[in-house]
Structure 1
């Protein structure tokens, strides 16, 4: 009986290690809420490199930037709402970095991204087997 338990635990450990090996190093842990899985981050070179490498596994990438007259740079702490065509909110989160990678079913979505009291609206069409990247900029 103990041998069977050890075999099961070994199988679980091997599966866990194989899944972990598939994730790029320095990638923040994904979060799943309902039908949506997302990962947010990109602070620092290692993490932003990992986020960019993981983009291929997510149908939607959101990138957040603030531009001024003299500078341009990534930003975080962006409030993001994604709603389906019926208005049902599927994702309500605040970005932990300048990138938000999102896995969600194919369909049409309404995106709201808010930073410092300014809200940007976009229509997003997610298609099976495709990837799109949306750059959202705030400026002065």
Structure 2
């Protein structure tokens, strides 16, 4: 019986740091004007935490590179959100492959830029609805990488 109690106590002590780390994995919510957003998702635990709160935000954006069957998530993507009148409501660089934003209802132009390649997509935010968009970029081959470095 003492062995079982000892094993349980050791297990609890070993699991405690894991739960503490999981709590630390969620990036901080930021605020720009009246827009709150969170960006991140680097590493498995942070990505899972982000996916867990995605539905709490009206807009979910993901950034991916793809070549045939190979996909890689991206960070450091420049993201700009403009309202229907062309006013910039958010202008940030992503801290990971996900960016979630709390936006008022309306139509927005989402502009995402990676390695000088800009993608645009309109999104309509409605009350109590969740919208997910994914921006895809091709994975560069070696010659394309070298030309960027010149």
TM-score of the superposition, structure 2-length normalised? 0.75
| Structure 2 counterpart of 1:121 | 120
| Structure 2 counterpart of 1:53 | 52
Instruction: Give yes or no for the alignment of 1:93 onto 2:92.
Output: yes
Report how far residue 70 of structure 1 moved: 5.7
Greater Rg over alpha carbons, structure: 2
| Structure 2 counterpart of 1:38 | 37
CA deviations over 1:49-96 (Å, ceiling 9, x no partner)? 000001111000000000124621101110000000111000000000
Instruction: Give yes or no for the alignment of 1:83 onto 2:82.
Output: yes
* Number of corresponding residues: 117
SS in 2 for 1:96: coil
Could you list the runs of 4 or more consecutive aligned residues of structure 1 that deviate by over 4 angstroms after TM superposition?
none
Give the structure with the higher percent helix. Answer: 2
Structure 2: which 5+ residue stretches go unaligned? Answer: 1-21, 140-150
SS in 2 for 1:101: strand
Query: Which whole-Å CA distance do the structure 2 matches of 1:126 and 1:31 have between them?
Result: 19
Query: Which whole-Å CA distance do the structure 1 matches of 2:116 and 2:133 have between them?
Result: 20
TM-score of the superposition, structure 1-length normalised? 0.80
Query: Which whole-Å CA distance do the structure 1 matches of 2:27 and 2:118 have between them?
Result: 26
